[in-house]
Amino acid sequence: MRIGTLSLSRAYPVALLLAVLVFVSPVGVNVTWSAEKEKPAKKEKSVQPAKKGTPSKGATKASGAAPEAKATTCFGDAPKIESVKPDEGKSGEKVTIRGKNFGAPGCLSSISFGSGLLAKFEHVNESTVTATVPSGKKGLHLLSVTTASGEDSKTFFLK
């Protein structure tokens, strides 16, 4: 039997394929069968940064909102340890680490004396940090300074 120009033996596989495509297509995918062009997405308006000293949009004197504060940038050059004084010590002793690119306060991620030996530290400034030697296995360890931009290490002898 022939229907139009397509025989039933050929129409069946085509219909089956179309049915499978409709039922198997992922949820949320828009399947269109017409040659209609899709409309381009509307461009979002660009947001201009607030001028220095002026409140951001939506912040008014009545709302009590303060002007936006300048965010601290923690990315830059990787830290570089220049000296560790003393370069050996016992658990609980203070060590001063001097170098560069330690970043602003809050940017220094961690100080460690070998794998798993995180130290308590005080970020004095961009070039100086004091750390308390943690308890751990005696011997030679890598003292590491870690920031968002990278890490640097020097050897340290834990007595």
The most distant pair of C-alpha atoms in the chain lies apart, rounded to whole Å, by: 97
pLDDT of residue 47: 47
Gyration radius (Cα) of the chain, Å: 32
DSSP state of 28: T
Whether pLDDT at 41 is above 60: no
pLDDT at 148 over 50: yes
Cβ atoms of residues 133 and 103 within 8 Å: no
Q: How far is CA 37 from CA 34, 60, 121, in A?
A: 9, 45, 61
For residues 101 and 126, what is the distance between their CA atoms, to the nearest angstrom? 6
Rounded to whole angstroms, the Cα distance separating 144 from 119 reads 10
Please tell me the pTM assigned to this model: 0.56
Mean of the pLDDT values across residues 52-60?
Answer: 48
H or E stretch at 147: strand 139-147
Average pLDDT over residues 98-122: 92
Please give the domain boundaries of the chain with CATH numbers for all domains.
Answer: 80-158 (2.60.40.10)
DSSP 43-107: PPPPPPPPPTTSPPTT--TTTTPPPPPPPPP--SSPPEEEEEESSEE-TT-EEEEEEE---STT-
pLDDT tens-digit series, residues 57-67 = 444 444 455 55
